[in-house]
């Protein structure tokens, strides 16, 4: 099978930046920054970016361009069976993340549709004992969306949009990202101008950049920063390797990696400023879970805008979220598609059909009200859910674990020198020997430390959710499911015989 290539460098850069820029930039970053000491969060964030983010993105891009295969097959070239297993682990782990990511996008679509009109008026949600006017509008509408059977329809629409975007691989992806990614920048710039010019908005800026240094001794903050860097740069998903496998041999990988990182992190800073200024102008504290930020806190702020600007900014905000989410989720679906096609030599149509059926079922399951929250109540706070628990393992551990295995296999089995030769092939800035200890010791060392301290606090109950028994059980079920699905599944997939077209 001949592999398609990107039509232009611009197309590739927009696709990779589109993958990196997602909900992580617009809501997770500001929510994390607030939770972890606002200004102080930048320090661990920058350290994570320089020591982990940049080397790993360049490495992931490099092996894609070198082997021109999907992630598991590329990792097989790197380290044989265990490499391939790592590749499938990444695919399965990120598939879990993508299933609920798309469910969330279904809710975003619901809010977008409502933001044209009804979102700004009160609704009653009798299922949760919410009478009109008793809960903030964002909350009442969010509960009204999740309790409506129509939500499955929203999830189906987002899934169809995703499949449509990757229908012809790079060909369709390129067309879509060339429109969506630049528009996302325009929308964000409009939001930041609005935020900064609102009376009181500047205060948010101060808060965002006022460090609370005491927080730096907390292991949780460091783990938060490192996970944020992995998530925001789409690392540990196999995405960058897949996108780079469609690049021509002559491309400058070091330069491409730096460009994508720069676009992503600039967008994240701008988003942080826009959200903090908007919220502070209306004296709303951004202390919220990421879902709360998206569906409760931001609509609350926007609802206070004068006159018609409410509708304009509401539509703008949810369109921005949907576009950012779509360009991220499709990058992972393309990663899964290329992994299946490369291993089993089946047609693209068949691969997409499998992904659609399995993935959609997962996303619909995540959207069922009782799966969302077994203890759903009208207090306005969403309790801990299956989604949170799976997120805890798949996002909090899975991405870092992939990064750990990947650097170990590339640094030790494949060889750090060989990797450098391959990265330096066409690059203007060549990577020196200093890269070797980074890949072989520092990066896996830092990740092992983070994972280790995470597991330690897991046992010592720091993250324990000491509410009711049913929640504790759910926590264990989620862990068992995750281990079976991601670790067990990756073993089976790596063991399976591939197709004959190799």
Q: How many residues does the chain have?
A: 502
Q: How far is the CB of 324 from ligand TRP (least distance, A)?
A: 7
Residue from 12, 475, 494, 431 nearest 240 by CA:
12
Q: How far is the CB of 9 from ligand TRP (least distance, A)?
A: 21
Q: How far is the CB of 327 from ligand TRP (least distance, A)?
A: 9
Measured from the CB atom, the residue of 139 and 372 that comes closer to ligand TRP is 372
Binding site for ligand TRP (CB under 6 A): 19-20, 22-25, 97-98, 101, 231-232, 234, 237, 239, 328-329, 331-332
Residue from 384, 373, 352 nearest 165 by CA:
352
Buried/exposed code over 113-130 (b: 16+ C-beta within 10 A; e: otherwise): bbbeeebbeebebeebeb
Identify any residues that bridge with 125 across adjacent strands, giving them in sequence order: 130
| Alpha carbon separation from 490 to 72, 199, 337, 345, 494 (Å, rounded) | 10, 53, 16, 18, 6
Measure the CA–CA gap between 379 and 479, rounded to whole angstroms. Answer: 28
Measured from the CB atom, the residue of 32 and 490 that comes closer to ligand TRP is 32
Query: What's the number of CA atoms in the CB half-sphere (13 Å) around residue 68?
Result: 13
Residue 369: exposure state from Cβ atoms within 10 A (0-12, 13-18, ≥19): middle
Measured from the CB atom, the residue of 79 and 188 that comes closer to ligand TRP is 188
Measured from the CB atom, the residue of 20 and 58 that comes closer to ligand TRP is 20
Cα 130 to chain centroid, rounded = 32
Measured from the CB atom, the residue of 332 and 451 that comes closer to ligand TRP is 332
Identify any residues that bridge with 38 across adjacent strands, giving them in sequence order: 211
Measured from the CB atom, the residue of 144 and 329 that comes closer to ligand TRP is 329
At 333 the three-state DSSP class reads helix
At 124 the three-state DSSP class reads coil
Q: How far is the CB of 346 from ligand TRP (least distance, A)?
A: 22
Q: How far is the CB of 206 from ligand TRP (least distance, A)?
A: 26
* 363, 325 Cβ separation under 8 angstroms: no
Residue from 100, 285, 305 nearest 199 by CA:
305
Measure the CA–CA gap between 192 and 32, rounded to whole angstroms. Answer: 19
Measured from the CB atom, the residue of 97 and 279 that comes closer to ligand TRP is 97
Measured from the CB atom, the residue of 112 and 130 that comes closer to ligand TRP is 112
Q: How far is the CB of 20 from ligand TRP (least distance, A)?
A: 5
The residue with tokens 């989720």 is 329
At 141 the three-state DSSP class reads helix
Q: How far is the CB of 16 from ligand TRP (least distance, A)?
A: 10
Q: How far is the CB of 23 from ligand TRP (least distance, A)?
A: 4
Residue 357: exposure state from Cβ atoms within 10 A (0-12, 13-18, ≥19): exposed
Q: How far apart are the first and last CA of the chain?
A: 8
Q: How far is the CB of 94 from ligand TRP (least distance, A)?
A: 6
Measured from the CB atom, the residue of 17 and 40 that comes closer to ligand TRP is 17
Q: Which residues contact 408 (CB under 8 A, 6 or more apart)?
A: 444
Q: How far is the CB of 122 from ligand TRP (least distance, A)?
A: 31
Q: How far is the CB of 201 from ligand TRP (least distance, A)?
A: 24
Measured from the CB atom, the residue of 26 and 123 that comes closer to ligand TRP is 26
* 110, 155 Cβ separation under 8 angstroms: no
Measured from the CB atom, the residue of 25 and 323 that comes closer to ligand TRP is 25
């Amino acid at each position: 099978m001949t592999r398609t290539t990107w039509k232009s460098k611009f197309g590739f850069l927009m696709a990779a930046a589109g993958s990196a820029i997602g909900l992580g930039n617009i809501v997770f970053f500001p929510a994390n920054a607030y939770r972890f000491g606002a200004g102080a969060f930048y320090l661990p964030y920058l350290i994570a970016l320089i020591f982990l983010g940049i080397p790993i993105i360049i490495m992931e891009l490099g092996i894609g361009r070198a082997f021109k295969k999907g992630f598991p097959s590329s990792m097989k070239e790197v380290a044989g069976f265990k490499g391939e297993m790592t590749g499938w682990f990444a695919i399965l782990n990120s598939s879990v993340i993508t299933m609920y990511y798309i469910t969330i996008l279904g809710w975003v679509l619901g809010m977008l549709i409502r933001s044209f009109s009804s979102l700004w008026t009160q609704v009653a949600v009798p299922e949760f004992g919410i009478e009109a006017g008793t809960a903030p509008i964002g909350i009442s509408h969010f509960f009204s969306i999740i309790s409506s059977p129509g939500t499955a329809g929203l999830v189906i629409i987002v899934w169809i949009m995703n499949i449509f975007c990757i229908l012809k691989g790079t060909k369709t992806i390129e067309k879509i990202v060339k429109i969506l990614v630049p528009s996302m920048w325009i929308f964000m710039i409009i939001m930041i101008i609005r935020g900064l010019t609102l009376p009181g908005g500047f205060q948010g800026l101060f808060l965002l950049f006022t460090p609370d240094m005491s927080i730096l001794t907390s292991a949780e903050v460091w783990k938060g920063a490192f996970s944020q860097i992995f998530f925001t740069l789409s690392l540990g998903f196999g995405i960058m390797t897949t996108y780079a496998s469609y690049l021509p041999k002559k491309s400058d990988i070091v330069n491409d990696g730096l460009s994508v990182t720069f676009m992503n992190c600039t967008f994240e800073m701008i988003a942080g400023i826009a959200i903090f200024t908007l919220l502070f102008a209306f004296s709303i504290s951004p202390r919220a879970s990421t879902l709360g930020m998206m569906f409760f806190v931001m609509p609350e702020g926007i609802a206070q805008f004068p006159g018609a600007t409410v509708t304009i900014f509401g539509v703008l905000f949810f369109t921005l979220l949907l576009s950012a989410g779509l360009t991220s989720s499709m990058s992972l679906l393309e990663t899964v598609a290329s992994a299946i096609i490369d291993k089993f030599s089946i047609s693209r149509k068949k691969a997409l059909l499998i992904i659609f059926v399995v993935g959609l079922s997962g996303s619909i399951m995540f959207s069922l009200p009782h799966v969302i929250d077994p203890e759903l109540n009208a207090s306005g706070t969403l309790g801990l859910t299956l989604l949170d628990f799976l997120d805890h393992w798949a996002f909090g551990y899975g991405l870092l674990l992939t990064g750990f295995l990947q650097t170990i296999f590339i640094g030790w089995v494949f060889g750090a020198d060989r990797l450098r030769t391959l990265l330096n092939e066409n690059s203007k800035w060549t990577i020196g020997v200093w890269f070797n200890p980074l890949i072989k010791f520092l990066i896996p060392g830092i990740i092992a430390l983070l994972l280790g301290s995470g597991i330690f606090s897991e046992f010592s109950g720091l993250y324990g959710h000491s509410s009711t028994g049913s929640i504790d059980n759910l926590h264990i079920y989620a862990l068992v499911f995750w281990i079976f699905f991601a670790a067990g599944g990756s073993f089976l997939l790596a063991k399976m015989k591939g197709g004959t077209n190799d």
